[in-house]
Structure 1
Amino acid sequence: MKLESPKVTIDKSAEKTFEFLSEVKNFEKLMPENISKFEVLDSDKFLFALKGMPEIVLKKKEEIPHSKIVLGAAGGKLDFSLSADITEIEDNQSEVKLNFEGEFNAMMAMMIKGPINKFLETLAKNMPEAV
């Protein structure tokens, strides 16, 4: 299953946007209002939970300076990745699109598609102010 957020424009350079997203603690600023738990586990791993959902641990898997950050599930039953593609528009402006990819059976995919889409949209929507 592949999902993507709408592209958002951020009034910061690609380098500054990348630096913000490289710090896993900053993801707390992007989370939706219905977050029930957020905990930094180490410099490249954090745990979060939304009300009514299980806890999810994300770990930084890959970084391509100033253009891409990939987070992946760290343990648990679900294997997926969340990547942020950063594009420089001008010196002080960049664009970010979030991509979610995971392998799920049809029933699971049907159940989680809506909530994950909404989650991606919220992360993206919160980015311009947070960065």
Structure 2
Amino acid sequence: MTTIQNQITIDKPVAEVYAFLADCNNHEQLMPEMVYNWSSTRDEAQFTIQNMTRLAIRVDSRKADDEVVFVPAEKAPFAVTLRWLVTPMADNRTLAKLVIEADLNMMMKMVATKPLQKLVDEQVGNLKNVLSA
């Protein structure tokens, strides 16, 4: 299992950060420019990644003010889980962490690790920007 992650501190209470992440409709704001044709509900999102494929994800589980777990809503080329973890900190700040766990064979690992890390880094940075605005 390949694990890719990044985290950031946000100057918002954990309940506010969790509420944002728990709704798939908000995740379009976190996506890089290469994602388009976005459609979503609170529990599911579908989108296209430029020059790649159309994907669908759904919420697998929610733990209030703690974690939101996403899994593929349709058949994916490999098993993958996206997990947003939120931890309260002092002064009403929140540590937000995005973890992608992917079952990649050696060839896929060589090809996919760098783009997945870029996706994680961009989403974490965009979360801070969106919630700080």
TM-score by length of 2: 0.91
**In 1: Cα distance, 2:65 partner to 2:72 partner:** 22
- The letter for the 2-side match of 1:9 is T
Query: How far has the Cα of 1:86 moved from its partner?
Result: 0.5
Deviates further, 47-56 or 60-69: 47-56
> 1:67 corresponds to which letter in structure 2?
D
What is the alpha-carbon distance in structure 1 between the residues aligned to residue 91 and residue 38 of structure 2?
33
Structure 1 segments unaligned to the other structure (5+ residues): none
Q: Deviations over 1:27-84 (max 9, x none)?
A: 00111122222111x3301012221121111110111110111111112232210001
Letter in 1 for 2:36: S
Q: Point out where structure 2 has 5 or more consecutive residues left out of the alignment.
A: none
The residue that corresponds to 2:60 in the other structure is 61
Deviations 1:110-131, CA, capped at 9 Å, x for gaps: 1111111000000000011213
2:73 maps to 1:74: yes
Q: Give, in whole Å, the separation in 1 of the partners of 2:91 and 2:23.
A: 21
| Alignment partners' CA distance in 1, 2:97 and 2:26 | 17
> Aligned partners of 1:49, 1:38: CA distance in 2, in Å?
7
Matches within 5 A, 1:82-93: 82-93=82-93
- Report SS of the residue matched to 1:58: strand
Q: How does 1:1-131 map to 2 (within 5 A)?
A: 1-5=2-6, 7-40=7-40, 42-77=41-76, 78-131=78-131
Q: Partner of 2:16: helix, strand, or coil?
A: helix
* Letter paired with 1:50: I
Runs of 4+ in 1 over 3 A off after TM superposition: none
* % identical aligned pairs: 24
Secondary structure of 2:81's aligned partner: strand
Distance 1:63-1:91 versus aligned 2 partners, 3 A rule: farther
- CA–CA distance in 2 between the matches of 1:125 and 1:21? 14
Amino acid at match of 1:84: W
Q: CA–CA distance in 2 between the matches of 1:37 and 1:117?
A: 22
Residues matched between the structures, number: 129
Counterpart amino acid of residue 49 in structure 1: T
Q: Which moved more, 1:47-56 or 1:13-22?
A: 47-56
